[in-house]
Amino acid sequence: MRILFIGDIVGRSGRTIVTERLPRLIRDWKLDLVIANGENSAGGFGITEAIYRELIEAGVDAITLGNHAWDQKEALVFIERAPKLIRPLNYPAGTPGRGAALIETKTGARTLVINAMGRIYMDPLDDPFAAIDRELIACPLGSGADAIVIDFHGEATSEKQAMGFFCDGRASLVVGTHTHVPTADLHVLPGGTAFMSDVGMTGDFDSVIGMAAAPPSFTPPPGQPAPTSVDGTPAPTAVPVPLVPGFGGAVDRGLGGLPHAGRRLVDLFVDRVGVCRHGFSLRTCARRGRG
């Protein structure tokens, strides 16, 4: 199974690059499932129903959220009729929507997609570790789902790494979102779970996390920041996941951190994805002297 995770889509520039390029990526990369974080897709703040439908129409199979989940108030209502929209699992009981969803691919494989939010430098929500633990017990990898993908939305890399190891061997992929800055640590954990601290954003990289840059004095401009209007750069992480046992067999970095020219590298990306006979990524395999 080949899963593509697209980092935080920021504003119109992020949406445009996804809607323009995703259909071709699905075809060329033979993707089975596409998951995107869409909490900044509406002008940098939240998501509307129209944008939800636009992204689903472009080929996104599941959309995760985060601390901006409810910035567009309509999300509190339309999430109930948007089965592929997943808000943080560790919101208080009674919060509209769902924190996990079982998404079926075109080939009938079932992928459990979970969204949870960290608590370091973030909102004081319920314990994300306990919440995710309950989901993984209720829907185990292998018997309950063919693959499990967790979007852990948080600020601190340490908390995200802790979540990766907490889920190691029980999830196919754990990726961090929220900081909009990609990390260079995509790898397979000892138990077989693919992990990356943060996949970065899909938006204009000539910006401050997708927003128009502040003046040189670093004094925040008055009013709410707005996304820049320049074309976006996708920050996808492609993870081919074998159906059994469902772990991250081969991983590779996407375009995170590359400037606009990175878009041209999309076509080269798939060539760098590989897996050794032990099921490890080629890079991990070489480091361990295996394969």
Catalytic residues: 68
Nearest to 186 by CA among 269, 66, 121: 269
Minimum CB distance to Fe ion, residue 173 (Å) = 19
Residues ≥6 apart with Cβ < 8 Å to 133? 166
Q: Got the DSSP string for 29-64?
A: TT-SEEEEE-TTTTTTS---HHHHHHHHHHT--EEE
Which of residues 12 and 178 has its CB atom nearest to Fe ion in the complex?
178
Which of residues 32 and 159 has its CB atom nearest to Fe ion in the complex?
159
> Do 209 and 177 touch, CB atoms closer than 8 A?
no
Which of residues 67 and 72 has its CB atom nearest to Fe ion in the complex?
67
Beta strands per DSSP E along the chain: 2-6, 33-37, 62-64, 85-86, 100-104, 110-117, 147-153, 173-177, 187-188, 194-196, 236-240
Nearest to 85 by CA among 105, 69, 104: 69
Nearest to 260 by CA among 197, 208, 207, 213: 207
Which of residues 22 and 69 has its CB atom nearest to Fe ion in the complex?
69
**Burial (0-12, 13-18, 19+ Cβ within 10 Å), 287:** exposed
Question: Which tokens in the block code for residue 285?
Answer: 């395999």
Whether residue 245 has a cis bond before it, omega within 30° of 0: yes
Which of residues 98 and 178 has its CB atom nearest to Fe ion in the complex?
178
Which of residues 70 and 166 has its CB atom nearest to Fe ion in the complex?
70
Minimum CB distance to Fe ion, residue 154 (Å) = 8
Spatial separation of the C-alpha atoms in residues 185 and 202, rounded to whole Å: 18
Local structure of residue 130 (DSSP, 8 states): H
**Contacting positions for Fe ion (CB under 5 A):** 66-67, 178
Nearest to 3 by CA among 37, 29, 38: 29
